[in-house]
Amino acid sequence: MRSYISIFLSLLSFIALAQNKKPFVFTYGTDTVYNSEFERVYSKNNDTKKVKPTKNDINEYLELYIKFKLKVKEAYSLKMDTNDAYIKELAGYRKQLATPYLTDNKVTENLITEAYNRMQEDVSVSHILILTSKDDLPKDTLLAYQKISEIRKNVIENKISFDSAAYKFSEDPSAKSNFGDLGYFTAFQMIYPFENMAYNTDIKQISQVFRTQYGYHFLRVNDKRKNQGEIKVSHIMIRFNNMNNQAEINAAKEKIDAIYEKLQKGENFEELVKQYSEDYTTKANNGEMQWFKSTSQLPPDFKAAAFDLKNIGDYSKPIKTNFGWHIIKKLEIKPNPPLSEQKETIKYKISRDERSQISNKAVLERLKKENKYVQNEKELVNFIKNVDSTIIKGTWQPIESTLKNNVIFTIGVQKYTYSDFSNFIKDYQTPRKNGKIDAIVRDYYNSYSEKMNFAYEEDRLEEKYLDFKYLMQEYRDGILLFELTDKMVWNKSVEDTVGLKDFYEKNKTKYMWKKRADVAIFDCRDASVAKKVKKLLKKNPTDSIIYKKINKKDPLALSITRGKYEEGQNEILNKIEWKEGITDLPSNNNKFSFIKINSIIPPVSKELSETMGVVTSDYQTYLEDTWIAALKQKYPVNVNNDGLSKLFME
């Protein structure tokens, strides 16, 4: 036994010796910053591979990093990391930082490329829809599928035209007015399955039947065209309020035609906007509208006319829309930006779009394999037997038989039980239109297992990814640093008015006015005005009296500027001798000016109110320096010059 103890103690001594030999930069209190940590954090904001840091660079950063570590250590000492607000804020950041680790980058890149390529083209389609819900019973879903398949068959065989079929059978309410025509759109403007089918179907062809969250569809591609970019236009608009009132429409047409004739004769477009346009949202801005695309939600005829204009400055003939008559002028055009400029926007849209499920699915399959996910089908079947029809209404309550510890799946060594799953259903259940109990429970099960697989992975990101571990530590320390510095320095400098005033009193000689002149500068229309003003000044009147007498007939005859200026501060004062009284200034553009120096004020300390910003900043520096000195007393700092000399040697 003693020999084992002896070996164990020897091993501990060896480990301690090895650790002591590990190069370090400095210690503070009982903590140590090793070379590897210092190099990592320094290199995060400096490309040390291209430019090796100088001794001066290292020393400057060393001082900053020592202060950082002292403050953070104090925050942990004060247990600020146990504060509920801190924990909640950190959890929010962690969720954001974890996202890239729970995404399949290859799938995402493919989706970005696909979306960008589609954005280069607009597609015009018409569609027919038969509504279904995900909660529909299989027999109802089958009936809907058979119905739309029969409609498609009749269209394909030319027994009925597509437009007539859309008007007669489509359950999209808009089909009664547009015959199923959805116009032009591009990527992200339709749900992803619909977009897929539209872009994967050739012009004038009819697609296969496909399903979306709304039901079963088939579509006809009417046209595809190159994306036309964005355009900015201005317009003149004459309104009519009733599309069915032909007299009103004709009256508006006469007016727009008269305006168009004025344009043809060379009158200014912007002036005609101001005189006649009835679009009151754009009239004040010369009729200028916001940038829009050919797929924007504007009347099709308006968009077509705008994009048909060839040159900047060209204007259209009168165009009719549901809102009125328009004459459109082309102001600017810009093409679809390159992928490099849109990548992050597209990536964000993917994360908010049905496409994200593709990446989620790929990641989920990977996580299940990596983390050894095992489903217990037998226990799931037994669980379902204990669920009644209230789950369809979304009012199901767990019972004793569903609150057992029977394991329905495992992830790694973690077990997930009936009880866990029951509580998930209870918290997340929603009323269903109809459906089978088995299918509903399995739907919840899939959601629950997916949620737990992602949660299991997220909880272990620090273990699996060293860069995530370091990133989270930066956020932990950064939030604590901000909170404690705010308390000890920034907020204190504002709230501690007594301390601020005391600091000012002890240092007021630092906040001095230079020699100043209290002056009034008089700019006069001509020499006669200057003569009258000088005469008035002998009686020392107020400015209002001077203005009343001098500017009675001409409000621009005189202007007065008063102020106190330090030496070197005012260009006029720099050119004259400083003495009390009136001094004429060189005439400029036939104007006559003179300056009256009321008094010369010797150097004096500024009042606190006159230099509050500077004093507050200096007080913050004082508070921080005092605080750091106290922290160094509490946690003594020892810089290891030998460790410093070995930094960035490899």
User: Kindly report the CA angle at 599 between 594 and 602, in degrees rounded to 5?
Assistant: 130
Question: What is the pLDDT averaged over residues 523-536?
Answer: 94
User: Is 70 exceeded by the pLDDT of residue 445?
Assistant: yes
CATH 3.10.50 describes domain 512-605: yes
Using CA of residue 170, residue 173, residue 177, residue 182, what is the dihedral sign? Answer: negative
Distance CA 420, CA 404 (A): 9
Instruction: State the residue for tokens 């003495």.
Output: 579
- The per-residue pLDDT for 21 is 58
**For residues 21 and 94, which has the higher predicted lDDT (pLDDT)?**
94
- The per-residue pLDDT for 325 is 96
Question: What is the pLDDT averaged over residues 307-319?
Answer: 95
Amino acid at 524: C
pLDDT category, 18, cuts 50, 70, 90?
Answer: very low
User: Is 60 exceeded by the pLDDT of residue 17?
Assistant: no
User: Is 80 exceeded by the pLDDT of residue 141?
Assistant: yes
Residue pair 149/209 in contact by the 8 Å Cβ criterion: yes
Distance CA 580, CA 590 (A): 26
Rounded to two decimals, the pTM is 0.70
User: Is 90 exceeded by the pLDDT of residue 435?
Assistant: no
What count of other Cβ atoms lies within 10 Å of the Cβ of residue 303? Answer: 23
Between the CA atoms of 124, 130, 135 and 138, what dihedral angle is there, to the nearest 10 degrees? -120
CA 500 to chain CA centroid, nearest Å = 38
Distance CA 392, CA 429 (A): 9
Question: If you ran DSSP here, which 8-state letter would residue 159 be given?
Answer: S
Question: What SS3 class is residue 639?
Answer: strand
Assigned CATH topology for domain 121-226: Chitinase A; domain 3 (3.10.50)
pLDDT category, 7, cuts 50, 70, 90?
Answer: very low
Question: What is the pLDDT averaged over residues 42-70?
Answer: 93
Question: What is the pLDDT averaged over residues 67-84?
Answer: 97
H helices of 187-235, where? 192-199
Distance CA 511, CA 608 (A): 9
Distance CA 268, CA 274 (A): 10
Instruction: Give DSSP secondary structure letters for 446-488.
Output: HHHHHHHHHHHHHHTHHHH-HHHHHHHHHHHHHHHHHHHHIII
372 contacts: CB under 8 Å, gap ≥ 6: 410, 411, 412
> How far, in Å, are 67, 275, 467, 471, 486 from residue 481 at the CA level?
10, 61, 21, 15, 8
Distance CA 368, CA 364 (A): 6
446 contacts: CB under 8 Å, gap ≥ 6: none
- The per-residue pLDDT for 6 is 40
Residue 304 has phi, psi (to 5 degrees) of -60, -45
Nearest C-alpha neighbor of 267 from the set 215, 321, 327: 327
613 contacts: CB under 8 Å, gap ≥ 6: none
Residue 123 has phi, psi (to 5 degrees) of -125, 135
Residue 9 token pair: 């103690």
CA 431 to chain CA centroid, nearest Å = 35
- The per-residue pLDDT for 587 is 79
Lowest mean pLDDT among 4-13, 423-432, 629-638: 4-13
- The per-residue pLDDT for 5 is 36
CATH 3.10.50.40 describes domain 230-334: yes
pLDDT tens by residue, 592-613: 999 999 999 999 999 999 999 9
Beta strands at 592-601 and 558-566: parallel, antiparallel or unpaired: unpaired
Residue 427 token pair: 């918290």
- The per-residue pLDDT for 34 is 97
Distance CA 579, CA 639 (A): 59
Residue 273 has phi, psi (to 5 degrees) of -60, -50
Percent of the chain with pLDDT over 90: 85
Question: What is the pLDDT averaged over residues 528-555?
Answer: 93
Q: What is the mean pLDDT of the chain?
A: 92
368 sits in which H/E element = helix 356-370
> How far, in Å, are 84, 85, 388, 481 from residue 80 at the CA level?
9, 10, 48, 10
Between the CA atoms of 595, 598, 601 and 606, what dihedral angle is there, to the nearest 10 degrees? -90
Element counts in the chain: helices (H) and strands (E): 27, 20
Amino acid at 335: P
Residue pair 226/124 in contact by the 8 Å Cβ criterion: no
pLDDT category, 56, cuts 50, 70, 90?
Answer: very high
Judged on CB neighbours under 10 Å (0-12, 13-18, 19+), 177 is: exposed
pLDDT tens by residue, 211-262: 999 999 999 999 999 998 999 999 999 999 888 888 889 989 999 999 999 9
User: Is 50 exceeded by the pLDDT of residue 87?
Assistant: yes
pLDDT tens by residue, 95-132: 999 999 999 999 999 999 999 999 999 999 999 999 99
- The per-residue pLDDT for 586 is 87
CA 469 to chain CA centroid, nearest Å = 25
- The per-residue pLDDT for 529 is 94
Decide whether 230-334 matches 512-605 in CATH topology.
yes
pLDDT category, 431, cuts 50, 70, 90?
Answer: very high
Distance CA 420, CA 402 (A): 9
pLDDT tens by residue, 342-360: 999 999 999 999 999 999 9
The domain locations on the chain are 1-77+635-650, 121-226, 230-334, 371-461, 512-605
> How far, in Å, are 166, 289, 381 from residue 236 at the CA level?
37, 11, 69
pLDDT tens by residue, 372-397: 999 999 999 999 999 999 999 999 99
- The per-residue pLDDT for 399 is 96
Distance CA 517, CA 599 (A): 6
User: Is 70 exceeded by the pLDDT of residue 3?
Assistant: no
